[in-house]
Amino acid sequence: MYRKYVNGEITAMQSYIIVISIMIGTGILGLSRIVSQISRQDAWISVMINGIVISLVMACMIYTVRKYPKDNFLQFTSKILTRPIGYLLTIIYIAYAVIATGIIIRFLLEMVRTWLLHKTPMWVLSFLVVITIIYMVKNGLTVVARFNEVLFFTLFFFFLLILVAIPELELVNLQPVGGSGIVNILKGTLPSFYAFGGYEVILVYYTYISDKEKPILKYSVLSVLGVTAFYTITVIAQIALFGPDELERVLYPSMNYLRAVDFPVFERMELFFTVFWCFTVIGTVGLQFLAACILSKMLFKTKTTHVFTYIYAPLIFIISLYPKNTAHLVELSDYVSYLNILFGFVLPILLFVLTLIKGGNKSNAKNR
C-alpha cells in the first residue's frame, strides 16, 4: 500500500482521524473566551451552529473530490476553475500552510513557556519543535497519519477532563438561553470558525486514500459533528464554571478550568494537560506542513517531498519567532484566518457549485 504513492497512502479511517486531529488543536485553549465576548452565555450555541455549517461544507467538499478520484488538488482545481487559477490557488495554499504552521508552533511555544519551561529561550524551543516535525514529515503521509492515529486515543483523556468540574458548575451562568440575541449568536460563529480550521487539508489528502469505496462522505461529516459536540460541551462547562464576565479576563480558559478543580490524587493537572496537548498540536502542525510539501511536489513535479521539507523548515522557524508578544501573535493569526475562510469555506462551496453545474469529471466518475 505504501508504494503506490511516493508519499504514502492512508486508509479511510485514518482520513477521519486526520479531520478530527487537525481540528482539535490550538483552538480549544481560548475558544470559550473569544466566542463569549460576542455571544455571552450563548457562546455554546454559536459553536454548535458553526459546527453544523462546517459539517455541510465537509459534505460539499467530499462530494466534489469524489468526482475526481484520480486527480490531486492542483489537477481538479485546474479542471474546475481553469489551469491558471488552479496553479494560483496551489501557490496560495502552500503559503497559507507554511505560515499557519509557523503561527501554530508559536502558540505551542507560548504555552510551553507559560506552564512548563519559563526560562528556556524561545528559539531553543522552536528549534526542537521544528526538527521533530521534520523528522516526522520527511517520512511521508503514512507516518504522519499513524502518528495522529495514536494521538487520537488521547482525546478520550481530554473529554474526561471536561467532566471533572461538574460538581462546581453553576448552570445559572448559562441563562437566559438565547438572551444575547440571534444577531450576536450568529456573529459568534465567525471566531468559532477559526477554532475548527484545518479540515480543508482533506482537499489535499483525499487522493491518497487507498479505500475510496468506503462511505467517506458519511463518516467525514460525523467526524466534524463529533468535534462540534466536543467543543460545545467544553464551552458549556467553562461558561457554567466561570460565567461570561470572568471568562473575558482569562487568557486560556481550558487551563484555568483545570486549575479551578482540586484533584484527589494528582496536583497541577493542567501540566498533564499541557504535555498531552503538545503532542496533539505537533500532529496538527505535521499535517499542515506536509500539505504544503505535497502541494509543492505537485507544483514543481518532483518525485518526493523531502527537498521541500528542508526548504520550508527555516521559514517556519523564522515565522514562529517573528511575533513580538502574545498580542502580536493573536493579531497575525487573525490575518491567517482570512485564508482559512478562503480554503475552508469559499473554495469548497465554489468547487461544489461548479461541479454540480459541469456534472463533474465524467470520465473519472466511470472509473469509480
| Domain membership flag for residue 11 | no
Matching residue, cell 487539508: 201
| Domain membership flag for residue 253 | yes
* pLDDT, position 272: 73
Residue 13: Cβ within 10 Å count: 16
| Domain membership flag for residue 173 | yes
| The three cell numbers locating residue 203 | 482537499
Contact yes or no for 67/365 (Cβ under 8 A)? yes
* pLDDT, position 283: 87
| Domain membership flag for residue 95 | yes
| Domain membership flag for residue 331 | yes
From residue 49, alpha-carbon distances to 180, 239, 240, 345 in Å are 15, 17, 19, 15
Return the SS3 of 138.
Answer: coil
* pLDDT, position 340: 85
* pLDDT, position 265: 62
| Domain membership flag for residue 231 | yes
* pLDDT, position 162: 72
Q: How many residues does the chain have?
A: 368
* pLDDT, position 310: 92
Contact yes or no for 65/76 (Cβ under 8 A)? yes
User: Which residue, 336, 36, 24, 271, is CA-closest to 151?
Assistant: 24
Report the C-alpha gap between 351 and 139 in whole angstroms: 31
List, for residues 211-260, the tens digit of each pLDDT value: 888 888 888 899 999 889 988 988 888 888 888 888 777 777 777 777 76
DSSP string, 116-165: T-SSS-HHHHHHHHHHHHHHHHTT-HHHHHHHHHHHGGGHHHHHHHHHTT
Return the SS3 of 10.
Answer: strand
User: Which residue, 73, 77, 100, 86, is CA-closest to 289?
Assistant: 100
List, for residues 282-305, the tens digit of each pLDDT value: 888 999 999 999 999 999 888 888
What is the helix (H) or strand (E) element at residue 83, kind and residue range?
Answer: helix 83-115
Return the SS3 of 70.
Answer: coil
Report the C-alpha dihedral over residues 122, 128, 129, 134, rounded to 10 degrees: 140
User: Which residue, 5, 58, 41, is CA-closest to 347?
Assistant: 58
| Domain membership flag for residue 365 | no
Write out residues in the chain with pLDDT < 50, as ranges: 1-4, 361-368
Number of domains in the chain: 1
* pLDDT, position 264: 62
Amino acid sitting at position 367: N
| Domain membership flag for residue 18 | no
Give me the CATH number covering residue 166: 1.20.1740.10
Contact yes or no for 20/223 (Cβ under 8 A)? yes
Residue 119, domain extent: 26-357
Q: How far is CA 141 from the centre of its chain?
A: 17
From residue 152, alpha-carbon distances to 15, 19, 146, 255, 326 in Å are 12, 11, 10, 20, 28
Report the C-alpha gap between 217 and 31 in whole angstroms: 27
Residue 211: Cβ within 10 Å count: 13
Report the C-alpha gap between 281 and 330 in whole angstroms: 17
- CB half-sphere exposure, 107, CA atoms < 13 A: 25
From residue 12, alpha-carbon distances to 205, 215, 286 in Å are 11, 8, 19
Report the C-alpha gap between 232 and 47 in whole angstroms: 6
